[in-house]
């Protein structure tokens, strides 16, 4: 297994639109979480996602222009370009929110703590050298069953994988974006940093 599984090869307008939709939805989720929990690393991921969405928008523009052969095509191309511009606006807005976090403009600590008590949070966790998670697939790990976290995205370098496939093997440096309770995210963090080396048993 190499990095092939995470490589993105944009081929069609359809694929590009779908990817932009998914990434911009993720950006919004992460931007809000970063703001509500004053989570700078998560805000930085939003900024990275913005670059990705911008790049996809650029590819979409090229694809759309290539597709136009007559007047009717051109009208549809214009529609697609307008969608690309709307997506750009959304991802800018998500980046605006993330930027507040990076500029240390945040909500009142009582709001943070109110959220932490009651809500699922989104964590950003980096796989470090000593982690027991390395070379394991999500299928091996059963993170949702064992510790109650849902990995919603994985970043490997500049590549983003949304809802990662069960067969993907974790590598050093992978960034996991996961949803769960504060405790379960903290536990995943310990597994990822190597502070804890044993996964809980799967309940039967």
Contact footprint for a second copy (CB under 8 A): 13-14, 17-18, 21, 24-25, 28-29, 31-32, 35-36, 67, 73, 75-76, 78-80, 82-83, 85-87, 89-90, 92-94, 96-97, 100, 105-108, 111, 114-115, 119
Nearer to a second copy, 182 or 199 (CB): 182
CB 33 within 8 A of CB 97: no
CB 156 within 8 A of CB 6: yes
Distance of closest approach, residue 48 Cβ to a second copy, in angstroms: 18
For 202, the token pair is 């799967």
Dihedral angle, C-alpha 85, 86, 88, 92, nearest 10 ° = 140
Nearer to a second copy, 132 or 182 (CB): 182
Distance of closest approach, residue 130 Cβ to a second copy, in angstroms: 36
CB 127 within 8 A of CB 133: yes
For 66, the token pair is 């290539």
Nearer to a second copy, 3 or 78 (CB): 78
3-state DSSP assignment of residue 109: helix
Distance of closest approach, residue 33 Cβ to a second copy, in angstroms: 9
Distance of closest approach, residue 198 Cβ to a second copy, in angstroms: 35
* Other Cβ atoms within 10 Å of 106 Cβ, number: 17
Nearer to a second copy, 35 or 138 (CB): 35
């Amino acid at each position: 297994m190499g990095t092939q599984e995470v490589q993105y090869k944009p081929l069609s307008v359809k694929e590009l639109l779908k990817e932009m939709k998914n990434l911009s939805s993720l950006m919004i989720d992460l931007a809000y979480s970063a703001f509500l929990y004053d989570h700078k690393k998560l805000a930085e991921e939003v900024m990275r996602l913005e670059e990705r969405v911008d790049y996809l928008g650029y590819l979409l523009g090229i694809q759309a222009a290539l597709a136009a052969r007559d007047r009717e095509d051109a009208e549809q191309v214009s529609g697609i370009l307008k969608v690309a511009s709307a997506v750009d606006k959304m991802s800018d807005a998500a980046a605006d929110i993330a930027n507040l976090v990076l500029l240390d403009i945040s909500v009142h600590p009582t709001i943070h703590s109110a959220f932490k008590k009651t809500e699922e949070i989104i964590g950003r966790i980096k796989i470090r050298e000593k982690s027991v998670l390395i070379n394991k697939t999500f299928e091996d790990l059963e993170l949702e069953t064992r510790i109650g976290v849902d990995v919603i995205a994985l970043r490997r370098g500049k590549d983003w994988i949304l809802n990662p496939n069960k067969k993907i093997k974790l590598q050093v440096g992978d960034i996991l974006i996961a949803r769960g309770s504060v405790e379960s995210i903290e536990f995943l963090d310990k597994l990822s940093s190597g502070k804890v080396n044993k996964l809980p048993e799967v309940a039967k």
